[in-house]
Amino acid sequence: MAELAADPVLTQDLRARLKGRSTVRHTGRVVQALGTSLLVSGLPVRIGQRCEVHDQLTDTVVLADVVGINRGDAVLVPLGGIQGIAVDSSVRIVSERVTVPVGDALLGRVIDGFGQVLDQHGPLKASDHVPLNAPAPNPLSRLRVKQRFITGVKSIDSLISVGVGQRLGIFAPAGVGKSTLLGMLAMHATADVIVVGLIGERGREVREFIEDALSESARSRAVIVVATSDRPAMERANAAVTATAIAEGYRDAGHKVLLLMDSITRYARAIREVGLAVGEPPVRQGFPPSVFAELPRLFERAGNSATGSITAFYTVLTDDDDGLDPVAEETRSILDGHIVLSR
């Protein structure tokens, strides 16, 4: 009986589908739930993996990310509420490598911090995906900042010119106009693609930004990532990384990308919640070390590459007009430029 020859196309497709997926299914169990973290035993995990927590009695299913390992047990932070989860709830790994969608199908859409659609325009049919936690470009592969970026805001273009691929912070106390300025940049800036990350905003402000700050033309080439203030800390933190990963996907495709994030302060507070929940010590005004490790990791992913560019604006909420707080100080030391708004 003749053997069937393997189809190389089907074999390659199968390998692509199986890449990053475990062929062995392990199951652990919840041994402790404290605050916003879960302690899981019996599950061989790695940092960054995504798991599914299932309680058979209540039929509750919650996704959670592995953020730490404590004496052989895994520390998971849920991506949603943990109501219904109990001791001995089963836990299994569902994703070895977390990715986010990119491509033309994403333009004009509003998604949450996990890449799920929030608008009413039907399911998302993205053909391409990029890793959520990609490393920053090699410093020697970055193109130098030589070209001027037209923001469309006269006071910025005439007095404090911005270069393509720069990363700038907008520093101001509450109620001064950071979000308004961000809306002006979204409306008037010259860019192929606009990626907006609304992190920890009030729910009513999201729709106001989409309908008032974005024109029809800007909306058609924009991707909006939303995690409102009521969402779990892990989702708020994840939304900032998701917006950055999406911007990277368009940059790698050769586009000139504008990344707008409001706000870095709320991203840092979300990281603080996660860090304190897993037992990190507070070191600077209640902020654990992970906050000051994650900020440069996020910022360095923006900028120029050999194929495209990400010009980024991040709003930073300061406690006073001098902006003397840990997040503002750290952000100021990392970014390429600063725009300070006074009362």
pLDDT of res. 1: 44
The pLDDT score that the predictor gives to residue 13 is 57
Q: What is the pLDDT of residue 3?
A: 47
pLDDT at 2: 47
Q: Which of 34-43, 260-269, 320-329 has the highest mean pLDDT?
A: 260-269
For residues 58 and 319, give the distance between their C-alpha atoms in angstroms, rounded to a whole number: 44
CA dihedral 180, 113, 273, 287 (to 10 degrees): -50
Output the CA–CA distances (angstroms, integers) from residue 100 to 5, 41, 131, 136, 227, in the order listed: 35, 28, 6, 16, 15
> For 279-313, how does the pLDDT look when each residue is reduced to its tens digit (9 = 90+)?
889 888 889 999 999 999 999 999 999 899 999 99
* Domain extents in the chain: 25-95, 99-340
Q: What is the pLDDT of residue 308?
A: 92
CATH architecture, domain defined by 25-95: Beta Barrel (2.40)
In the predicted model, is pLDDT for residue 40 greater than 90?
Answer: yes
The residue-averaged pLDDT of 27-51 equals 88
pLDDT at 240 > cutoff 80: yes
Contact 296, 334 (CB under 8 A): yes
Helix/strand/coil for 127? coil
DSSP label at 246?
H
More confident residue, 35 or 181: 181
Is residue 45 helix, strand or coil? coil
How high is the pLDDT of residue 320?
59
Mind listing the pLDDT tens digit for each residue in 165-200?
999 999 988 878 888 898 889 888 889 999 999 999
Residue pair 235/288 in contact (Cβ under 8 Å)? The answer is: no
For 93, the 3-state DSSP assignment is strand
Q: Measure the CA angle with vertex 192, ends 189 and 197; round to 5°.
A: 70
pLDDT at 210: 86
> How many percent of the chain have pLDDT more than 70?
92
Query: Of 1.10.579.10, 3.40.50.2300, 2.60.40.10, 3.40.50.12240, which CATH number belongs to 99-340?
Result: 3.40.50.12240
Share of the chain above pLDDT 90, in %: 41
C-alpha 267/C-alpha 241 separation (Å) is 9
Beta-strand ranges (E) seen in the chain are 27-34, 37-41, 50-55, 60-70, 73-78, 90-95, 99-102, 110-112, 128-131, 148-149, 162-163, 167-172, 193-199, 222-227, 256-262, 303-304, 309-317, 337-340
Confidence class of residue 222 from pLDDT cuts 50, 70 and 90? very high
- Per-residue pLDDT tens digits for 89-137: 999 998 777 888 898 889 999 999 888 899 888 888 887 889 888 899 8
User: What pLDDT digit, counting tens, does each position of 131-147 carry?
Assistant: 888 899 888 888 999 99
- In the chain, alpha helices (H): 8-18, 154-159, 178-188, 203-208, 216-220, 233-252, 264-277, 289-299, 326-334
| Res. 21: pLDDT tops 60 | no
Other C-beta atoms lying within 10 Å of the C-beta of residue 50: 19
Band (250; pLDDT cuts 50, 70, 90): very high
Tell me the mean pLDDT in the region 71-80. Answer: 88
